[in-house]
Each structure stands twice: as structure tokens, then as C-alpha cells.
């Protein structure tokens, strides 16, 4: 389980809100695993992640470019890493279906990735936003 705190703040409200929704997804995925829901109940996971990555990554990358964030390229590279995991995971699930092991693999990857990603890359946007004069 992961809990939002200010150490995850990027200074950009929409990005932070999107990150919070991913945290909620991760925590719900954990709860669903603990209550031993049937594997078919996890089909929503792939759709959520595909939709999230498509909208969030595009918006976040445009913000980093707009604010001339020095972490912009690292951010794009990290998003590419996530998408590569997602694509290989999706192929695996189409072949084998969801299993308790594959669901746990998804949970561990996403939880570790988002914590590392936000704290080391996304938060670098905050000083870029704060350095701009108020409009």
C-alpha cells in the first residue's frame, strides 16, 4: 500500500491528481489480491493502465517540455520503460490469462515504478514551475 504525501508533489495540480488516481488503483489492486478475487476480475487492470498511460504520459511530457524541465528526457525514457513492461505483460496475459502470480507481478512492478519515478523524476518539475513569475 502506498500513501500520497508531499514528497510526491510535482507542483502541477493535474499531474498530482493523476498520480493520486494511480496510487488508488495500486492500492485497490492490492486489496483485490488480498481478498483473492478471481483472476477474471483483474481484466479492468489492463484497460485502466492503457488509458492512464496514454493520457497521463502525454500530458506530463508536455508539461516538462513547457517548463523546460531538465528531467524531460529521463521522464520520456522512464515512460518508455513502463510501456515496454506493459506491452510484454499484456502479451503474457493474452497467452496465459491472469494468475495470482501474474497479478502480483503487475502490482509489484507498478508500485515500485511509480514511487521511484515520481520521487526521482517527476518531482523535478516542481522547481521549474516555481521559478516562473506569477501570471
pLDDT (average), residues 86-114: 93
pLDDT (average), residues 95-118: 93
Q: How far is CA 24 from the centre of its chain?
A: 11
Structural domain total, the chain: 1
In a domain, 25, yes or no: yes
Q: Contact 30/38 with Cβ under 8 angstroms?
A: no
Whether the model clears a pTM of 0.75, i.e. scores above it, the answer is: yes
- CATH at residue 95: 1.20.120.50
- 14-41 tens-digit pLDDT: 999 999 999 999 999 999 888 878 877 7
In a domain, 98, yes or no: yes
In a domain, 111, yes or no: yes
pLDDT confidence of residue 9: 97
Which of these, 82, 49, 65, lies nearest to 12 by C-alpha position? 65
Integer angstrom CA distances of residue 124 from 13, 69, 105, 110: 14, 7, 28, 20
Integer angstrom CA distances of residue 88 from 70, 81, 91, 122: 29, 11, 5, 24
In a domain, 135, yes or no: no
* pLDDT over threshold 60, residue 115: yes
In a domain, 1, yes or no: no
For 122, the grid coordinates are: 517527476
In a domain, 134, yes or no: no
In a domain, 3, yes or no: no
pLDDT confidence of residue 133: 61
In a domain, 2, yes or no: no
Average pLDDT, the chain: 93
**What domain range is 20 assigned to?**
12-126
Amino acid at each position: 500500500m502506498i500513501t500520497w504525501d508531499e514528497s510526491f508533489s510535482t507542483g502541477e495540480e493535474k499531474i498530482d491528481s493523476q498520480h493520486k488516481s494511480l496510487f488508488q488503483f495500486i492500492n485497490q489492486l492490492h486489496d483485490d489480491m488480498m481478498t483473492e478475487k478471481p483472476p477474471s476480475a483483474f481484466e479492468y487492470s489492463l484497460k485502466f493502465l492503457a488509458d492512464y498511460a496514454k493520457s497521463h504520459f502525454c500530458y506530463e511530457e508536455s508539461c516538462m517540455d513547457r517548463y523546460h524541465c531538465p528531467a524531460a528526457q529521463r521522464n520520456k525514457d522512464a515512460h518508455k520503460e513502463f510501456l515496454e513492461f506493459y506491452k510484454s505483460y499484456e502479451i503474457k496475459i493474452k497467452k496465459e490469462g491472469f494468475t495470482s502470480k501474474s497479478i502480483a507481478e503487475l502490482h509489484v512492478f507498478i508500485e515500485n515504478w511509480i514511487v521511484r519515478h515520481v520521487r526521482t523524476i517527476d518531482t523535478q518539475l516542481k522547481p521549474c514551475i516555481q521559478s516562473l513569475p506569477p501570471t
